[in-house]
């Protein structure tokens, strides 16, 4: 099998960084190879992929050392965030984009686009705007766009990070039909899903090196939430009580109808369901991001709609999917200081002591989430709403999050989180509300859960 990529003593240092993120990397990718790249958050997996795809240092500023040989004729790339890959106004043009750049004749583009749409079962979406699709559909469009080029090698950078388990499995199933000669390099935290496609794995170490990894051995269970704290009195009103909540967007069928759910103080409830089922919309209705509609929302027994803004703001804390959306200060110290001395004192416990004078936007993804949790714990609100808290987190960070949310619940607060990370939900939640086809099913979870690999 001919080589497609050769890295010899390769290293990469981001512009402005003191230390290289990658060093002394030796790797050969051959035709037909299926390789998984894994490693902790921020270890440089995506950077390695960008080096292999020829995007760094040209489009990712930094210094490249060693020998990097790109021997492939064509490549396809699928990135993590489906929304960030959308350029054109229709799915058909999105898939055609790379072929147009290659100067392929329009008739051939049309034929190849139709073929790949058909192969991935998304022909019905051809005329839709990609931003109107669900995350799973949008990511399949990105894969279709990469495959239309008939690439020698396919680079996938956490392509299922924003997808629920069923969509992630469907995404990897679509790769099973690839021609045998097509090499695939995947960066992925969802090891089990990627294992269906990959034959071998490499791990990027925290020091920036690359070592072979045995990804078929499941990791030991860890990070279970064991403490329950004091159970709330049954007469105490729920921290959150939602009855008959319905929502729809103009010109579209209802997203969900007559949803009921409740979160008791000291309990963690999870809202799960396939991508696009309306989980985040439920949170947005509770947090008043969306205007009021049919249904009632009660916070600690009080009608949320009747609450004055000041009282409403004191009743809950909303931690959005993007941790940066909560930042209100120029330094980590400023962020914590706003929530009082208790938050500053907890910086040690959350590994933020050395980052107190850093700009919060310059923290790693895991650090940003830990900062928000520090703030949340110090705020002492009766209810916490968290939207997809495990995005961008590796296994160690997810385990730590399970413990932290346990601590939040043990402090007597109710927690409602939206997540499609079933392993995480199983480990942290007391109650799971499953959304499907606009309805909701309640499930109580015995508290013996341990964090499973995503």
Partner 1 sequence: MRALSNPRNPLAALFVTVCLLAPVLLSTGYATPLAFLVLGLINLRILGGVRYPDYFKTLSVLSLASVGLFVLNVLAPAEGVNGPARGAAVFLRSVSLISLSMGFIFAVDPYDLVRALMVQLGLAPRVGFALFAGWNTIPLLRRDLGIIEKAQALRYGTRRRRFRDRTHTATALLAGAVRHGERVALSMAARGADKPGPRTFLKDSPWTRGDTLYCAAGFLAAALTTALILSLGLYTFDLG
Site residues (CB under 8 A) for partner 1, limited to 279-308 = 284, 287-290
Taking the complex as a whole, the smallest distance from the CB of residue 318 to partner 1 amounts, in Å, to 5
- C-beta closer to partner 1: residue 18 or 308: 308
Q: Which of 34, 5, 43 is nearest to 205 (CA)?
A: 43
Strand, helix or coil for residue 212? strand
- C-beta closer to partner 1: residue 92 or 192: 92
Sign of CA dihedral 83, 87, 92, 96: negative
167 binds partner 1 (CB under 8 A): no
Q: Cβ distance 146 to 171 under 8 Å?
A: no
Taking the complex as a whole, the smallest distance from the CB of residue 215 to partner 1 amounts, in Å, to 25
Binding residue for partner 1 (CB under 8 A) from 1, 127, 131, 211? 131
Distance CA 63, CA 56 (A): 9
92 binds partner 1 (CB under 8 A): yes
Beta-bridge partner residues of 271: 418, 433
Beta-bridge partner residues of 25: 10
Rg (CA), the chain: 23
Binding residue for partner 1 (CB under 8 A) from 8, 9, 73, 83? 83
Kindly state the DSSP code that residue 238 receives in the 8-state scheme. P
Active site residue 158: yes
Binding residue for partner 1 (CB under 8 A) from 22, 53, 336, 416? 53
86 binds partner 1 (CB under 8 A): yes
Residue 36 φ/ψ, nearest 5 degrees: -100, 130
Contact segment (CB under 8 A) with partner 1 among 20-28, 109-117, 219-227, 429-437 equals 109-117
145 binds partner 1 (CB under 8 A): yes
Q: Which of 153, 226, 160 is nearest to 191 (CA)?
A: 160
- C-beta closer to partner 1: residue 96 or 120: 96
Distance CA 242, CA 271 (A): 13
Other beta carbons within 10 Å of 429? 28
Q: Which of 92, 94, 137, 158 is labelled catalytic?
A: 158
Q: Which residues bind partner 1 (CB under 8 A)?
A: 50, 53, 55, 58-60, 75, 77, 79, 81, 83-89, 92-93, 96-106, 109-110, 113, 131, 145, 155, 284, 287-290, 309-310, 313-314, 316-320, 322, 324-329, 338, 361, 375, 379, 381
Residues known to be catalytic: 158
């Amino acid at each position: 099998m001919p080589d497609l990529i050769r890295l010899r003593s390769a290293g990469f240092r981001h512009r402005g960084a003191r230390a290289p993120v990658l060093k002394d990397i030796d790797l050969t990718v051959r035709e037909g190879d299926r390789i998984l790249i894994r490693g902790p958050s921020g270890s440089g997996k995506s950077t390695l992929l960008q080096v292999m795809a020829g995007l760094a240092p040209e489009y990712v500023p930094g210094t490249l050392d060693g020998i990097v040989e790109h021997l492939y004729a064509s490549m396809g790339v699928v990135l993590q965030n489906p929304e960030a890959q959308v350029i054109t106004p229709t799915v058909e043009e999105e898939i055609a984009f790379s072929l147009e750049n290659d100067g392929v004749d329009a008739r051939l583009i049309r034929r190849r686009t139709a073929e790949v749409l058909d192969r991935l079962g998304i022909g019905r979406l051809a005329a839709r705007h990609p931003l109107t699709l669900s995350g799973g559909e949008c990511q399949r469009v990105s894969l279709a766009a990469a495959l239309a080029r008939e690439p020698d090698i396919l680079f996938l950078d956490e392509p299922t990070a924003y997808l629920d388990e069923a969509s992630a499995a469907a995404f990897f199933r679509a790769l099973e039909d690839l021609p045998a000669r097509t090499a695939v390099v995947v960066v992925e935290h969802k090891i089990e899903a990627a294992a269906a496609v990959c034959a071998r794995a490499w791990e990027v170490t925290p020091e920036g090196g690359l070592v072979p990894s045995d990804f078929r051995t499941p990791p030991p269970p860890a990070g279970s939430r064991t403490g329950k704290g004091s159970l709330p009195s049954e007469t105490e009103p729920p921290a959150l009580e939602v009855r008959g909540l319905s929502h729809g967007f103009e010109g579209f069928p209802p997203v969900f109808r007559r949803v009921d759910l409740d979160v008791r103080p000291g309990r963690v409830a999870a809202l799960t369901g396939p991508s696009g089922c309306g989980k985040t919309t439920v949170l947005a209705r509770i947090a008043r991001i969306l205007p009021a509609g049919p249904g009632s929302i009660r916070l600690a027994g009080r009608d949320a709609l009747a609450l004055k803004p000041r009282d409403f703001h004191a009743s809950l804390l909303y931690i959005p999917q993007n941790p940066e959306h909560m930042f209100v200060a120029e330094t980590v110290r400023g962020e914590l200081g706003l929530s009082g001395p208790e938050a500053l004192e907890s910086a040690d416990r959350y590994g933020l002591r050395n980052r107190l004078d850093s700009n919060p936007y310059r923290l790693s993804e895991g650090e940003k989430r830990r900062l928000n949790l520090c703030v949340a714990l110090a705020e002492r609100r009766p209810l916490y709403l968290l939207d997809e808290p495990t995005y961008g987190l590796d296994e160690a960070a997810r385990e730590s999050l399970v413990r932290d949310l346990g601590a939040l619940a043990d402090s007597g607060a109710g927690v409602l989180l939206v997540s499609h990370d079933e392993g995480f939900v199983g480990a942290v939640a007391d109650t799971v509300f499953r959304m499907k086809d606009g309805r909701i099913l309640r499930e109580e979870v015995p508290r013996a859960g341990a964090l499973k690999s995503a």
